[in-house]
Structure 1
Amino acid sequence: MAKNADWWRGSVTYQIYPRSFMDSDGTGVGDLKGITERLDHVASLGVDAIWLSPVFPSPMKDMGYDVSDYKDIDPSFGTMADFDAMVARAHELGLKVIIDQVLSHASDQHPYFEESRQSRDNPKADWFVWADPNPDGTPPNNWLAIFGGSSWEWDARRKQYYFHNFLKDQPDWNFHNPEVQDYLLDCMRFWLDRGVDGFRLDTVNFYFHDKLLRDNAANHLPWAQEAVRPFEMQYTLFSKNQPENIPFLERMRALLDEYEGRTMVGEVGDTHHSIDLMGQYTSGNRLHMAYSFEMLGPDFSPRHFRERIEAFFKGAPEGWPCWAFSNHDVPRHVGRWLEHAKDQDALAKQAAAMLLSFEGSVCLYQGEELGQIDTELRFDELTDPEGINFWPEKKGRDGCRTPMVWDDAQANGGFSTANRTWLPVKEPQRARAVSTQTEDTSVLAFYREMLALRKSENSLRLGDQTFLDLPEPILAYLRGTDILCLFNLSAEDVTCDPGFKVTPLVAQAVEIDGDTLRLGANAFLIARKVSV
């Protein structure tokens, strides 16, 4: 593969959720051999890299985000040899390989936590976050867990509480202990030595907690008291986002800099300061990129997209973002924004053109290239603790995690030969299988066209993004000095005059009449400025 230390800048990464990508052995669960079988599809899109959600040994209480061994492969996904073969095949196809690292917390079945909880004076006693109860037996502070309830769980052996931001089965590492930092850096080195090209860092702003265990304040944002999850009613001043995170990120970067062409993208999520944190975490010798949550919600307006992008580059001119519209934790974006469209395919193509023309790097989620929306699931079909705990007001994440559909004529959409898959394949998803999208007008064909355009036009990969002042619902900007990107973010026809003539590169529902552009529902135009 070509050596390019900055390959990640302007790159496009394809997220693979291994349980749902391809099942090679009929167990109903996707695996590494299945991924290898389908890498040709990923390469044919024209992306630069793949990101694998966790494949490490795990009790799967949170579908692999509860790691019990950081240096092996869970048997449900295959073997280390299968992993090595997958990496080798990806590299043959010109794809970089990025793997998840879930460092903020482990599984309660990790041997170090099992040792830690035995006593207050064993060698691993201080490797997790332990605290004495208040005199009345209550937890040491008011911190709440994302999946519900207190973030403190009582352990009768130590007669102390341990801290968990997520499930009680996911205790948080104590990053204030240098030995913990050294251990987790060594785990990262293990995978670098195996040839991976980088890491996606789960919950990268959760690593450190306030050593004084001070109470969080109430969330002052107007929507907070209507939140379904009590966690969102708190302003998490002390349970995460601590300044000690910065030096550890610099240690991580120093490790990656020992290897050529490696990269880190950190998941930065917060209700108050995520853009500021993205800037802090990617400035200097820290993360290469910060993965943003800012576009994973219901907002679909020119103002929203413009404000988020401008805020990042104003606050972190030397930093670098990674934008996404969908992932394994949120409803798929076509479904979220469908109220703004007359046609599902038109919206899917418009979203692709928009995301793939933003300044920064980009992450696509498997099935996005098919224009998929979430699967409607019954309560008895759920596996996700978030959905089970907060049903029916919050249905959890299973709807966006259902299996990839390859062939509409095969059982389970070609994902698996099993009688029952870990999540069901239903007809609305099967109808959008890869096998059905052979026409030049398909969503899949457009993703390939748009990715090829981004790769061929340097301005679309690396050019500055300068927004134009056109009225809502039009989003308009230049990439570099020569590429105009124009979007009608509504289901109604509009007209506009960008102030110069253009030559279209890709377009949908656009008519050009002299200097006037007529934009139909969910229209877009990416065009080259005509020199006068």
Structure 2
Amino acid sequence: MPAWWRGAVLYHVYVRSFFDSDGDGHGDLAGVMAKLDYIQGLGVDGIWLSPIHPSPNRDWGYDVADFDGVQADYGTLEDFDRLLEAAHERGLKVVLDEVLAHTSDEHPWFLESLTGGPDGPKADWYVWADPQADGTAPNNWLSVFGGPAWSYQPKRRRHYHHKFLRQQPKLNWRQPAAREAALAVLDRWLARGVDGFRLDVANAYLHDPELTDNPATPAEARTAAHWGHAGNLQRHLHDANLEENCALMDAVRRRVEAHGDDRFVFGEFSEEEARCGAYLAPDEGLHSAYTFVLLLQDQLTPAFVREHYATLSAFPAHWPTISFSNHDVPRTVSRFGGAAPAPDLARLMFALLLSLKGTTLIYQGEELGLPQARLARSQLRDPVGDLYWPYDGGRDGCRTPMPWDADLPNLGFSDGEPWLPAASEHRRLTVADQEADPDSNLAFARQMIALRKGSPALTLGDLEFLDAPDPVLAFVRRWEDEAVACVFNLSDAPRFVELPTVAGGALHPVRAADADLRGGSLGLAPWAAAFVELRG
């Protein structure tokens, strides 16, 4: 029997913005627990929680100061245990976001590495290097968030490496004791009963011990995305993304599986995916992985799907994790639809997301069709937005509070002043309003998840593209004796598609009038999707 995570649908909860139970303006674990019935009602298999550990919030939880505790804004360990139990009672898996490539500079490990002397027990738990003769950084490595990926510490008269903010020093996974300490974090939370992990920047665990300079991104290969962030002007071949990372990911998976074959660990791979182990098979490397390839797409043509699955086809044993949206990128409908997306675009993209081969990640609010929120500079909390304003507003626009009820303060998220403002763009898309509308995005999302869960082909099947003229995307999912054609009109005009011999009919058009099947000819309204049973 396939593992539970193959074809599963996980709901990504950004805890700080989900639901505030105590009026302090921050979402919390009790708030997640209060909304478990809503999550269960979507029909998903489990939840992925953003980092829950204590953090000074320089990068909002992705700078961990204590791997064994719970952030005070979110509650206590007892609150987490209650949430875990309640989720399991509802048949929901719980996956934690673990950030093990780096820590906060306030973590006791780093403080001891900094102050314990060059011969201290944790002296080399982080990546330290001498400055060059003129005091500049040890090499040319650039931070993702801008500037050199090194910071000088007079206490040690050395630089420490940080791939992100200077407050996020890189843990040295080449040091056996540091590596064991990081792996033991997984042991402790698995023993507590969690079902698995999403590993942040799984591509960045290892660095080149020779500190070799990164090569430049070739001038002819540079796009607007490369120029948008200085770190993209070099290929990150030595500060991260090493080929050795493949074997390390395998060691991580085996550590997780030691707690039972029902545990799941997948990773985030943000660059150089094939080189560092993103596409390995489930019995090699992690169980699964997701990349930023789909998360960064913004052109709604069949090519963005076809090209990604062409890449995946070179790794047929790999089981992917698929996501269109998360806490780091603009929301799907705004990314593909611009400032005024078509009303049916959210349904179309949700239908496509749920029909692609892989384990599916739904970001909170994606089921509501939420667009990106627009914030003033004074409202930003994300260091990326602060750094690149006004060119880039950062990630806060996809992190605003979940809109529960337009008749309540802050759209029902909190009785207090929320850490980010409730988005005015979401006032007409609240859960309460959509619950009352049988034709809402929310109603469709539930139907689409049910269709996925009820179809072995859509859950587990291979994917084979059909010939279809742009802007139509068409493919077949097959599993044993079931085959389903999935057809999407990625345009604002009606389209007609000739399908293989069919049996039955359209299983689930986006709306009842959106698709018309006559023999092998399928007519699709603008922004429509249809699912058709195939014979043989």
CA distance 1:215–1:341, shift in 2 (3 Å): same
Which is worse superposed, 441-450 or 218-227? 218-227
CA distance in 2, matches of 1:463, 1:244: 31
Determine helix, strand or coil for the equivalent of 2:522.
Answer: strand
Matched residue, 1:92: 89
CA distance 1:87–1:386, shift in 2 (3 Å): same
Which is worse superposed, 237-246 or 376-385? 237-246
CA distance in 1, matches of 2:324, 2:51: 20
Q: 1:529 aligns with which of 520, 526, 534?
A: 534
Identity of aligned residues (%): 42
Alpha-carbon deviations, 1:133-188, whole Å to 9, x = none?
A: 11111111111111111100000011100000000000000111011110011111
Shift of 1:224: 6.0
Matched residue, 1:263: 264
Within the alignment, does 1:499 sit opposite 2:496 as a pair?
A: no
Contact 2:53 2:69 in 1 (8 A): yes
Which is worse superposed, 115-124 or 178-187? 115-124
Letter in 2 for 1:46: G
Determine helix, strand or coil for the equivalent of 1:173.
Answer: coil
Shift of 1:280: 4.3
CA distance in 2, matches of 1:128, 1:244: 18
Which is worse superposed, 9-18 or 280-289? 280-289
Matched residue, 1:334: 333
Q: 2:460 aligns with which of 462, 479, 485?
A: 462
CA distance in 2, matches of 1:370, 1:337: 16
Contact 2:226 2:232 in 1 (8 A): no
Matched residue, 1:210: 208
Matched residue, 1:123: 121
Alpha-carbon deviations, 1:57-106, whole Å to 9, x = none?
A: 11010000000100111111000000000000000111000001100100
Within the alignment, does 1:14 sit opposite 2:11 as a pair?
A: yes
Contact 2:279 2:320 in 1 (8 A): no
Alpha-carbon deviations, 1:96-135, whole Å to 9, x = none?
A: 0000110010000001101111222211100000000111
Shift of 1:235: 0.8
CA distance in 2, matches of 1:189, 1:284: 20
Q: 2:26 aligns with which of 29, 51, 68?
A: 29
CA distance in 1, matches of 2:176, 2:245: 13
Determine helix, strand or coil for the equivalent of 2:508.
Answer: strand
CA distance in 2, matches of 1:433, 1:342: 18
CA distance in 2, matches of 1:187, 1:181: 10
Q: 1:414 aligns with which of 412, 415, 419?
A: 412
Q: 1:42 aligns with which of 27, 39, 44?
A: 39
Within the alignment, does 1:184 sit opposite 2:189 as a pair?
A: no
CA distance in 2, matches of 1:493, 1:164: 51
Within the alignment, does 1:517 sit opposite 2:522 as a pair?
A: yes
Alpha-carbon deviations, 1:380-399, whole Å to 9, x = none?
A: 00000000000011110000
Within the alignment, does 1:484 sit opposite 2:485 as a pair?
A: yes
CA distance in 1, matches of 2:158, 2:405: 53
Contact 2:269 2:278 in 1 (8 A): no
1:65-76 equivalences in 2 (<5 Å): 65-76=62-73
CA distance 1:295–1:341, shift in 2 (3 Å): farther
Shift of 1:226: 5.7
Contact 2:6 2:460 in 1 (8 A): yes
1:374-413 equivalences in 2 (<5 Å): 374-413=372-411
Shift of 1:339: 4.6
Shift of 1:321: 0.5
Matched residue, 1:433: 430
Matched residue, 1:56: 53
Shift of 1:530: 4.8
CA distance in 1, matches of 2:181, 2:299: 40
Matched residue, 1:105: 102
Shift of 1:5: 7.2
Query: Could you say what the CA RMSD is over the residues aligned between the two structures, in angstroms?
Result: 1.6
Alpha-carbon deviations, 1:439-495, whole Å to 9, x = none?
A: 221100011001111111101101111101111111101110521100011122222
Determine helix, strand or coil for the equivalent of 2:160.
Answer: strand
CA distance in 2, matches of 1:515, 1:23: 51
Matched residue, 2:149: 151
1:339-350 equivalences in 2 (<5 Å): 339=338, 343-344=342-343, 346-350=344-348
Contact 2:463 2:475 in 1 (8 A): yes
Shift of 1:33: 0.4
CA distance in 2, matches of 1:131, 1:277: 24
Determine helix, strand or coil for the equivalent of 1:26.
Answer: coil
Letter in 1 for 2:532: A
Matched residue, 1:368: 366
Which is worse superposed, 277-286 or 50-59? 277-286
Letter in 2 for 1:504: A
Determine helix, strand or coil for the equivalent of 1:251.
Answer: helix
CA distance in 2, matches of 1:300, 1:204: 28
CA distance 1:425–1:277, shift in 2 (3 Å): same
Alpha-carbon deviations, 1:213-243, whole Å to 9, x = none?
A: 0111111223168612100111111111112
CA distance in 1, matches of 2:341, 2:16: 33
Contact 2:203 2:277 in 1 (8 A): no
CA distance 1:310–1:238, shift in 2 (3 Å): same
Q: 1:140 aligns with which of 138, 141, 161?
A: 138
TM-score (ref. length: structure 2): 0.95
Letter in 2 for 1:287: L
Contact 1:97 1:197 in 2 (8 A): yes
CA distance in 2, matches of 1:291, 1:226: 21
Within the alignment, does 1:233 sit opposite 2:238 as a pair?
A: no
